[in-house]
Structure 1
Amino acid sequence: MDNNDYIFYKAMEEASKVLGADPAYFGEEGSAEVERQLKKLGRGLDDIRKKG
């Protein structure tokens, strides 16, 4: 697992804690929470999308 994958999964895990369920169930609200968690980890969604 590369570093971007780890950061993304960590953000998903933290967003799940905030929302009480998988962020995918919350649509745009879930995506926004994942993005907030990524920012807390010092990354943005664009950083994660770029592989390499």
Structure 2
Amino acid sequence: MTDIKDEIFIKAMEEATKVLGADPAYFGKEGKEEVERQLNKLGYSLEELREN
């Protein structure tokens, strides 16, 4: 199950990188918010991934 979560998170990070033009971690709070937006687009939330 962890592998699937990792894949989902990696996909969200990749999409956020496309939007921001650089690694989301570089943007701090804004980067985190963009990753969360991308997770929502994929049908997940950050809380869901953290729970399991």
Question: Could you state the TM-score of these two structures normalised by the residue count of structure 2?
Answer: 0.92
Structure 2 unaligned regions, length at least 5: none
How do 1:1-52 residues align onto structure 2 when only pairs under 5 Å count? 2-51=3-52
Alpha-carbon distance in 1 for matches of 2:31, 2:43: 19
Provide, for residues 10-42 of structure 1, a one-character-per-residue CA deviation record: whole Å limited to 9, x for no partner. 000000000000000000000000000000000
Give the % identical residues. 67
> Following superposition, which runs of at least 4 residues in structure 1 exceed 6 angstroms of deviation?
none
